Structure 1
Amino acid sequence: MIALALFASTFVLVMALGIQSLNVNGGHRLLACATSFAIGAANLVVLKQMPGHTTGLEIAAYLSGGPAGIWCAMALHPWLVRTLRRGTVPPDLSHCAPAPTSPRRPGQPD
């Protein structure tokens, strides 16, 4: 039972980290924040289960959850973004960008 919990928590942890990274790189701020809850929850399970005596099966479960999680994150992310964007208009974030400035000409006062 502990091996299954370790596999599942490592799977969720690495998948959430992968999705969060893809969200950050894609500029999806709310999705990046939302994945933090999954990362925290999965970390709690890992940190509660791993300390102390662990068997070979538990270590193998812990190590195999990561590759499976990142594989699924890379496959799931495009679908997730497409599905969550359907029917929504991207917000206007132009007010967050700095105002454009004109280049200084030589001899022009500051």
Structure 2
Amino acid sequence: MSGNPLLAGLAPTHPGEILREDILPAVNLPKTEIARRLGISRQTLYDLIEERQPVTPAMALRLGRLFGNAPEFWVNLQRDHDLRTLEVRMASELAAIEPIAA
């Protein structure tokens, strides 16, 4: 992806990192309470904030509702993370594809 050159070399940001580093400290509630309000298990919340689980559309709806932002915010973060991560893993495979001029 030819994106922002300022991001070159930086690891893609998982939505769980933003949740863990920025949002949860700002709301100052125990993770147990966050999980309860989201209607998920504590383990699911921990898997998300430890970047072991992606933000699904259903989770994006829950997070958007709880934190008062758009679910698209969460889905877009996950999409960007997935694309940037996969692009690195597929670099040689993608390089072998000859583009067609439209």
Q: What is the TM-score with the length of structure 1 in the denominator?
A: 0.27
Structure possessing the higher relative contact order (Cα contacts under 8 Å, 6 or more residues apart): 1
- Structure with greater helix percent: 1
Q: Which one has the largest radius of gyration?
A: 1
